[in-house]
Amino acid sequence: MVSISRRTFLKYGITFGVFLSVPQILNYCKGSSNTRADYERKDPFDPEFLSENVSPIMKAIRIGITAPNPHNVQAWKFKILDDHSALLFVDEKRLLKDTDPSFRQIHIGQGTFLENLSLGMQVLGYSSDILLFPDGKYTTSDIGKKPIAKIILNKQSDLIRNPLSGFITERVTRRSIYEGEDLTQDDFEKIRKDSAVLYSELKFVQRAGSEKLIKQLIAAMQVETDTKNTYDESRIWFRYNDEEIGKFKDGLSLRATGVSGIKYFFARNFFLKPGTESWHSDENKKAGMEMFSSQVESSKGFIFLKTKQNEIIDWVQAGRDYLRLHLATTKNGFALHPMSQILQEYPEMDTLRNEFESTLKPGEKIQMLVRLGKSDYHYYSPRREPQSFITG
């Protein structure tokens, strides 16, 4: 939780005429505990959430949609075939056309869903057969029209659970300031072994000697911030307060960026105002860059997830591996925050991205880059109601 001195609190309170009750203070300080607020996503294994009158495939979808995904746009839609099978499509109404014009990241999000579902349903005693692109050749022109995957659930009494499935409930993306010691090579080897990625290669970058990388990551965020359409895309998906988070149950927010406590109260009530003018103001952009820079500079290590090719199937499979990496990081007690800006494929980012990826072999692609460290900040990003993902 972001701390604030008693003197500063009293100064702010007197200036704005604000006096908080104990329940209000606890609400704004919520991010320091594991307790879930009403607007946060439910525990995917909560018995009430997985009630007996819900079919196995709907239980699978409820678990799967708790997966991490870009900007929390939740670009998934499903056609239910029967109680044990469904088709997964990209929701063409929830794309990131400015920061993700190739739709690579959106397809990585399809993979995170599939792996989260597959591992999660093991807890309920089901294996999952996943057939990618069941309607044959698939291109980005088929988004929303052709399925990404066909999912078939099979009940198995002798199923052996992957240990990673036990960390789905706890998994969160922490964009807060990191503390603790730098990650060691031994820490990475434990994460790598536990993740057991199937389609990608993991590379570790220690904190010591990563000054150039940190500068590149900050520079990439500056490019995204200074490019009006890419920065505005974040505004479109930004939820300004807890009421909006509860209403839309998607997108970004101050809570998602690690802001909590009294700092969150004053930011949401007095400084961060809805609207294009406020969002693109020099003050707002400067504050956002300062926060991002502080986060990156607090990193205790970095991990790359790389594929040998960069086709759509590689994107989906990289997403499956990324979910495993995230769960393995959680298992080993570390926080994780994706650094996606420098990997994005819009013209203004080309120079930085090409320099960053200049050492790759032909065809290779860094699909994900994350920073790691220690943090006790918890925010379970919201998810829409499962039924809203179902199409005819």
For 186-202, how does the pLDDT look when each residue is reduced to its tens digit (9 = 90+)? 999 999 999 999 999 99
CA 175 to chain centre: 10
- What is the per-residue pLDDT across 137-186, written as a single tens digit (0 to 9) for each? 999 999 999 999 999 999 999 999 999 999 999 999 999 999 999 999 99
Mean pLDDT of 337-348: 98
pLDDT grade, residue 270 (50/70/90)?
low
The CA dihedral of 350, 354, 355, 356, to the nearest 10 degrees, is 100
As given in the structure block, the two tokens for residue 348 are 């203004």
Is the distance from CB of 41 to CB of 64 less than 8 angstroms? no
As given in the structure block, the two tokens for residue 3 are 């701390």
- What is the per-residue pLDDT across 61-110, written as a single tens digit (0 to 9) for each? 999 999 999 999 999 999 999 999 999 999 999 999 999 999 999 999 99
The pLDDT of residue 266 is: 67
| Distances from the Cα of 314 to the Cα of 136, 164, 306, 309, angstroms | 16, 22, 10, 7
Whole-prediction pTM value?
0.92
Give the residue carrying structure tokens 């929390």: 72
Residue 349 has pLDDT above 80, yes or no: yes
CA 314 to chain centre: 19
pLDDT grade, residue 5 (50/70/90)?
very low
The pLDDT of residue 60 is: 97
As given in the structure block, the two tokens for residue 40 are 């946060």
Separation between Cα atoms, residue 153 and residue 85, nearest integer Å:
6
pLDDT grade, residue 272 (50/70/90)?
confident
User: Which is it for strands 335-338 and 126-132: parallel, antiparallel or unpaired?
Assistant: unpaired
The pLDDT of residue 32 is: 52
**Phi, psi angles (nearest 5°) of residue 49:** -65, -35
User: Which is it for strands 252-253 and 238-239: parallel, antiparallel or unpaired?
Assistant: parallel
- What is the per-residue pLDDT across 17-37, written as a single tens digit (0 to 9) for each? 444 444 444 444 555 556 789
Q: Any idea which architecture 1-392 has in CATH?
A: 3-Layer(aba) Sandwich (3.40)
Nearest to 341 by CA among 274, 292, 283: 292
User: Which is it for strands 85-90 and 149-155: parallel, antiparallel or unpaired?
Assistant: antiparallel
> Higher pLDDT residue, 358 or 53?
358
Ramachandran class of 363: left when φ > 0, alpha when ψ lies in -120 to 50, beta otherwise: left
- What is the per-residue pLDDT across 323-340, written as a single tens digit (0 to 9) for each? 999 999 999 999 999 999
> Higher pLDDT residue, 246 or 273?
246
- What is the per-residue pLDDT across 117-141, written as a single tens digit (0 to 9) for each? 999 999 999 999 999 999 999 999 9
